[in-house]
């Protein structure tokens, strides 16, 4: 029996080598980066990348505090599914991949048993300081 699963994986791509993105035992791909250009290759398993987002740091000057504040911004990236290529807007960004795949579930024919556990926590750990 197959069941649809959705994975979300965030990676910080390497600037000087390829990055392997592994989602499960038989689902992975390699991400090759050249500045803001990316290529997905060495695809193992059957899956679909449904969405890619990039997260990057932005800086804003605060007149009230007279300093520079940093915050994260996120934007969607369009993947060319025929060539498995895309471009990001920033060189130093984190990429989040949203991936959908069908995974075969196997039945377990062995007997299963319930195990009862009791968690003991000392009262000293629960007291507020």
* Contact call for residues 110 and 86 (beta carbons, < 8 A): no
- What was the pLDDT predicted at 104? 79
- What was the pLDDT predicted at 129? 56
Give residue-wise pLDDT tens across range 37-89: 889 999 998 899 999 998 887 777 777 767 777 777 888 999 998 899 998 87
Sequence spans of domains, the chain? 2-107
- Give the span between the Cα atoms of 56 and 124, in whole angstroms: 43
Where does the pLDDT of residue 128 fall: very low under 50, low under 70, confident under 90, or very high at 90 and above? low
| Main-chain dihedrals φ then ψ at residue 6, nearest 5 degrees | -120, 130
- Give the span between the Cα atoms of 9 and 22, in whole angstroms: 9
- Give the span between the Cα atoms of 27 and 23, in whole angstroms: 6
- What was the pLDDT predicted at 44? 92
CA dist list (Å): 23 to 20, 44, 76, 85, 86: 10, 10, 21, 19, 20
Sign, CA dihedral 73-78-81-86, equals negative
């Amino acid at each position: 029996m197959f069941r649809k699963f959705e994975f979300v994986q965030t990676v910080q791509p390497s600037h000087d080598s390829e990055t392997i993105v592994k989602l499960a035992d038989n689902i992975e791909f390699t991400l090759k980066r050249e500045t803001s250009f990316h290529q997905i290759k060495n695809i193992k398993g059957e899956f679909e990348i449904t969405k890619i987002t990039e997260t990057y740091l932005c800086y804003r000057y605060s007149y009230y505090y007279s300093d520079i504040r940093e915050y994260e911004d996120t934007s969607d990236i369009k993947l060319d599914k025929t060539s498995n290529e895309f471009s990001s807007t920033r060189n130093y960004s984190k990429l989040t991949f949203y991936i959908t795949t069908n995974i075969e579930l196997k039945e377990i024919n062995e007997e299963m048993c319930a195990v009862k556990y009791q968690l003991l926590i000392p009262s000293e750990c629960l007291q507020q300081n």
